[in-house]
A and B are shown apart, each in its own frame.
Chain A
Amino acid sequence: MGPGVSWYLAVAGFLFATGTLGVLLRRNPLIVLLSLEIMLNGADLALIGFARNLRDGDGQIFALAVMAVAASEVVVGLGLVVALNRKRITLDVDRLNTLRG
């Protein structure tokens, strides 16, 4: 047989940690969104690995739902980036602090 599910889980964990590092470290909102995609994909890989391990299709359903939520999140995030760009606001997540109520 090929690699066991623990190898896939290791890849998923490293992907999730890489995405976390990008979200916390980078200042460009576009790259923060890309790093969020990496985090979601790491979670997807873990879900599909467990679905294969348990021979249960529910994990794949969950992964597809995560994919739909990720697409929605990208739409809203990119809409925000375009709106910021149109108002000539600096694309730097540290300077986006004027949205206080």
Chain B
Amino acid sequence: MLVASAGNVLVWAAWMAAAFACLGSGVAVVSFSNPFYSALALIGNLGSLAVLYLLLSAEFVAAAQVLVYAGAVMVMFLFVIAYIGPRSESPWMGGPSWQAVGAVLAAGALLIEIVVVIGLKASGRLSHSEHVGAAFGSPATIGRLFLTDHLLAFEITSIVLLVAAVGGVILGSHSRRSADEVPSL
């Protein structure tokens, strides 16, 4: 019993640290004026989200999160930010002040809507299910689900990635001829 409660406290402590790191770095991403610092804060956000995924016994998704996001996507972000260089032409917040007020109101309304809908629709069924098997969230289970029940989603995902790669190459390539064809954007 004592061991169980000690583990309980440990899980809560890990959850508190990861959740507050997650929310704090999310606010930091939105509020930093330098995109480089925002990208670094987003790396912290993704790392703490991976901890939350581990607490939800989703090991494979946590590993994929660290590899794909913090590894590949954020490296690309930082590379593009460094390639563009410091350009301070875009203001922190543009437009008239009613736009800012509207943005805050819209985000707040969305948050309230999420809370109310979840509270109304699912509050009775949100008790923490006690046990999941050791195989839950393991790479073997995920792979079996992907290749049996969700084979179509798996294949469509590969096509989406292929189209995105082709689009990235086309957007990034610049020949002199295409610059003449599209004189001004």
Contacts and interface: CB of A to CB of B under 8 A. Distances in A.
Interface string B2-22: 000000100110010001001
A2 B167 CA distance: 44
Contacts of B45: 38, 41
A34 B39 contact: yes
Interface string B90-134: 111111000010111011101100110010000101111110100
Contacts of B39: 30, 34
Nearest to A5: B126
Nearest to A13: B114
A4 interface: yes
Contact of A3 (B12, B49, B87): B12
A73 B160 CA distance: 10
A55 B103 contact: no
Given A35-B30, A38-B26, A74-B76, A85 B84 contact: yes
A67 B68 CA distance: 8
Given A8-B52, A67-B65, A72-B161, A60 B137 contact: yes
Given A31-B35, A71-B68, A94 B95 contact: yes
Interface string A6-43: 11111101111111111011111111011101100100
Interface in A35-89: 35, 37-38, 41, 44-45, 48-49, 51-55, 57-58, 60-61, 63-65, 67-76, 78-87, 89
A3 B128 CA distance: 8
A82 B29 contact: no
Contacts of A24: 102-103, 106-107
A98 B69 CA distance: 32
Interface of B: 8, 11-12, 15, 19, 22-23, 26-27, 29-30, 32, 35, 38-39, 42, 45-46, 49, 52-53, 55-58, 60-61, 64-65, 68-69, 72-73, 76-77, 80-81, 83-84, 87, 89-95, 100, 102-104, 106-108, 110-111, 114-115, 118, 123, 125-130, 132, 136-137, 141-142, 145-146, 149-150, 153, 157, 160-161, 163-165, 167-168, 170-172, 174, 184-185
6 contacts: A14-B26, A17-B114, A21-B30, A22-B29, A64-B64, A78-B76
